[in-house]
Amino acid sequence: MKTITKEVLQDAANRLLFTMSDEQYDTLMGEFKILTKQMAIIGEIPDLGNYEPMTFPFDCTTSYLREDVPVAPLTREEALKNAGNKQDGQIKLPKVVG
């Protein structure tokens, strides 16, 4: 398993375009320590590789598919209600590509 270090978290934060304080890194490191410990306990169970992934541990298979019938969408006002910055009926964001 990948070791979670401050450098790994800094790299992730950098890629996600936000900065964190040293205190926040310490909090996150503490949380990852607990998580890593729990994963290690699970990792000690023998023959784990021979089990199917338990993505859906209980059978919840369905055959339901939605009919292709459109319903009235949100009004533009409703759709954009939470947007901080709007222009010409669209959400306006800072440009992040070159």
Partner 1 sequence: MNFEAVIGLEIHVQQKTKSKMFSSAPNGFSRDPNTQVAPLDMAFPGTMPVVNKQAVINAIRVANALHMTIDHTLYFDRKNYFYSDLPKGFQITQQARPIGKNGYVYVEVPGGKKRIGIERIHMEEDTCKQEHFMDYTLMDYNRAGVPLCEIVSLPEISNGTEAREYAEAIRNIVVYTGTSDGKMEEGSLRCDTNVSIRPYGQKEFGTKVEIKNINSFKNIELAIDYEIARQSRLLLSGEKVRQETRRWDEGSGKTVLMRVKTDAVDYKYFCEPNIPPIHLSDDFVQNAIDTCPELYDAKKERYLAMGLSRSDAEIILSDPKMAAYFEAGVPFVQNAKDLANYLIVEVNTYLNKEGVAIQDFALSPKTLGEIITGQEKDGLSHKQCVDILNYVLANSVSPKEAKEALHIVAQVSDSNVILKFVTDVLDQNPKSIADYKAGNQRVLGFLVGQVMKASHGKVNPAEVSKTLQEEIKKR
Q: What is the DSSP letter of 85?
A: S
Applying CB under 8 A, the residues found at the interface with partner 1 are 15-17, 53, 55-56, 60-71, 73-76, 79-80, 87-97
State which H helix or E strand residue 22 sits in: helix 22-43
State which H helix or E strand residue 9 sits in: helix 6-15
Considering the complex, what minimum distance in angstroms separates the CB of residue 34 from partner 1?
20
Given the complex with partner 1, which of 26 and 35 has the nearer CB atom? 35
Q: In terms of Cα–Cα distance, which of 11, 16, 10 is closest to 96? A: 16
Given the complex with partner 1, which of 37 and 95 has the nearer CB atom? 95
Given the complex with partner 1, which of 21 and 62 has the nearer CB atom? 62
